[in-house]
Amino acid sequence: MSRNTILNGLRAALRVRPGDAGREAAVDDRLRGARPGHIVPARARGRSAAERVAAFVELADASGATVERVPGTDAVPGAVADYLTHNNLPARVRLAPAPWLNDLPWAEHPLLDVSTGAARADDPASVTPCFAAIAETGTLMLLSGPDSPTTLNFLPETHIVVVRASEVVGPFEEAIIRLRGRGADYMPRAVNFITGPSRTADIEQTMYMGAHGPKRLHIVIVDEGDDRARA
Amino acid sequence: MTQAERTPRAFRDNARAAMADPILRRVLPSLGVRFSSHRRAAIDRLPEFDALRDEAVEIKNHTLQHLDLYLERFEQAVTAQGGVVHWCVNAEEARRTVLKLCRSVGARTVTKGKSMIAEEIGLNPFLEANGIVPVETDLGEYIIQLAHEPPSHIIGPAIHKTKEQVADLFLDAHRAQGKTRRLEQGEEMVAEAREILRDKYLAADAGITGANFLIAETGSIVLVTNEGNGDLTQSLPPMHIAIASIEKLVPTLEDAMTLIRLLARSATGQEMSVYTTMATGPRRADDPDGPAQFHVVLLDNGRSRLIGTEFQDVLRCIRCGACMNHCPIYAAVGGHAYGAVYMGPIGAVLSPHLLGIAEAKDLPNASTFCGRCEEVCPVRIPLPMLMRHWREEAFTQDASPAAERWAIAAWAWLAKRPQYYRLATRVAVPVLRLSALAQHYLRAHDLTRGWAKARAMPPPQHGTFMDQWRARQSTGHSAR
């Protein structure tokens, strides 16, 4: 069968036999994380928490996202309502089912139409949590799952992401360490790294935003008072 | 560009036509400038870039040296997550595998993310012939699908199209959906494609994507896009089929991130592409969305035969397109002239392997050997050297034209015999000095016409090198 044809062909080309203990060990070592001279860019290393957040804000902004900072999670619903109003967008949001996000005081904004769940075709805006925010490139990292359906990241025209300051990491490597820290089955179905809003340059090399995914990516960074979120 | 046939055999004719094409003349020059200046700026912001390239070379070389084992580990990880790996020796087997999967869910339409492997195996025409409608969702791929053309660039498939041409294609294709106004603004076109394709995503029975990387540690496929089309393609339909060639494999998540640090910077000059997604298995029991089935179609198509040969280095390629963005030949003729799925310097090395050197012998010659492709390649593929290998191969396999072979053989005979070589050059100098005559001579003779037609032969000014050398020695004239 084709599997054996390909594997045997590779072994013939490499001049090796199956079951070579030395090669197996080299591969196992590598998969356990042994890698010679792993370079992590200096810009992502050894910064204080405040510097990391500042670097993240700068690069997220450069990627075309908008960023605002609020003092605590309770201020998130107000920030969302204001953002939609200021941008003249429909006062309607689809929340990710993460319990802490739904427990925020959304009721204080009665003009905001709030619902919860995976995205539907006509949802104009979504609000989701994230797993990590990576200062190295201003990139958000979202994990699919019951708390954060992946369609919310792509279907609506406006995607609002709530980042708690403790979720801001330096390099990608730090985010991966946190990912493995989730336990034995650490990979969700989808890990989405998002750097700015959707765009295309496929028509005469001119950049247009909102090709298929969100036209606007708004990031709300919560600086403190996220005790509730940690629970 | 109008072409008699889009095959590498027609390269010379196609290149000539391309250089006379007013649209390409308008589009191509800005392309090179834009991509290369953006790349330069991104690299200047990352002092570790060159060190990361070395690291990427090590990662790829290590993986290729253990590819059999990593493929087994990858399959184990995919299976453990509830996905299925399908091994395909050649294009035919890959096409049939995809068709079988589509039929297993009774698929009528499938959405597609941009995939060079799908181009390589000719997937779209095959699916259409079997009653399944493939819908390209990357805007550039969508445009060329409407135009019934192949991609002209690895990362910008429709860069040869003007806004006006896109407007006409959209008017034609979207009329049935009630879009009867010819659009003028780029924004409107992007918005209209978004609206039309939105319904396709929601209606599709399967989503087919490529993969920029495969990760052995987790059994993930990594998909990099700027539009988000790949993510809608893989998360909305009930089945996700990822097609990837075997050399896309890397060991760990960290290895993937190191390569990703190079990819967007080399391709478009972005720090990161907008969306980098790691997809692992089908939707979990408690997932509110995502595909119920996850399949990885692994394609060899002759790649395993490159291992252990002088061409192995080409398997490090991460398909960023930097080589073609910096190639003076690509900038002159565009992607279609190559007549092959892969264009530019990387295509000149890959195509003879995929199609045979007899078919693609002109492509390794489509180079000035300026070396920019190797200079910018994030994984340091020695592209000029590999093109030279193919030229040698074409010569030894008798694939090159008789006149060219005769001329090279004659030159080789002379070059190995200094006394005759000097005699020949001494005779040639006064002849060539009659410049008008020389140009006429070179253009009139079969042996030299091809070479002289596009080149001006400067008349030699002062005798042969050896004559000048001797003259300087005897007058005590020092070489400067």
Which residue would you say has higher pLDDT here, B468 or A224? B468
Residue A148, SS3?
A: strand
Q: Do A176 and B253 touch (CB under 8 A)?
A: yes
Q: What is the pLDDT of residues B41-96, one digit of tens each?
A: 999 999 999 999 999 999 999 999 999 999 999 999 999 999 999 999 999 999 99
Alpha carbon of B460: minimum distance to chain A alpha carbons (Å): 45
Q: Which residues of B touch A159 (CB under 8 A)?
A: none
CB–CB of B304 and A213 under 8 A?
Answer: no
ipTM of the complex model:
0.96
Instruction: With beta carbons under 8 A apart, name residues in chain A contacting B51.
Output: 39
Q: Dihedral of CA B348/B349/B353/B358: which sign?
A: positive
Cβ neighbours for B203, distance < 8 A, ≥ 6 positions apart: B109
Of all residues in chain B, the one with the smallest CA distance to A192 is B277
**CA distance between the termini of chain A:** 52
3-class SS of residue B109: strand
Give B180-218 pLDDT, tens digit per residue: 999 999 999 999 999 999 999 999 999 999 999 999 999
Mutate to test the interface with B, among A10, A11, A207 (most CBs of B within 10 A): A10
Instruction: Write the pLDDT tens digit of every residue in A126-182.
Output: 999 999 999 999 999 999 999 999 999 999 999 999 999 999 999 999 999 999 999
For B3-33, the pLDDT digits (tens) are 457 899 999 999 999 999 999 998 888 888 8
How close does chain A come to B167, measured CA to CA in Å?
Answer: 10
Closest CA to B251 of B69, B52, B50: B69
DSSP label at B304?
A: G
Asked if B118 contacts B215 with a C-beta cutoff of 8 angstroms, the reply is no
At residue B361's C-alpha, the angle toward residues B60 and B14, to 5°, is 105
Residue B175's pLDDT band, with cuts at 50, 70 and 90, is very high
A15 contacts on B by Cβ (under 8 Å): 308
- Closest by alpha carbon to B302, among A15, A17, A10, A1? A10
Tokens of B78: 């995919």
Q: Which of B58, B272, B295, B305 to mutate against chain A (most A CBs within 10 Å)?
A: B272
Q: What sections of B152-220 are H helices per DSSP?
A: 163-174, 186-203
**What's the Cα-to-Cα distance from A117 to each of A85, A131, A155, B30, B282, rounded to whole Å?**
23, 18, 13, 45, 19
Q: Does A146 sit within 8 Å of B229, measured CB to CB?
A: no
Comparing CA positions, the residue from B213, B304, B207, B317 lying closest to residue B260 is B213
- Neighbour count for residue B49 (Cβ, 10 Å): 18
Note the pLDDT tens digit of each residue in A49-90: 999 999 999 999 999 999 999 999 999 999 999 999 999 999
- Return the closest-CA partner of residue B316 out of B415, B409, B213: B213
- Check B305 against A13: CB less than 8 A apart: yes
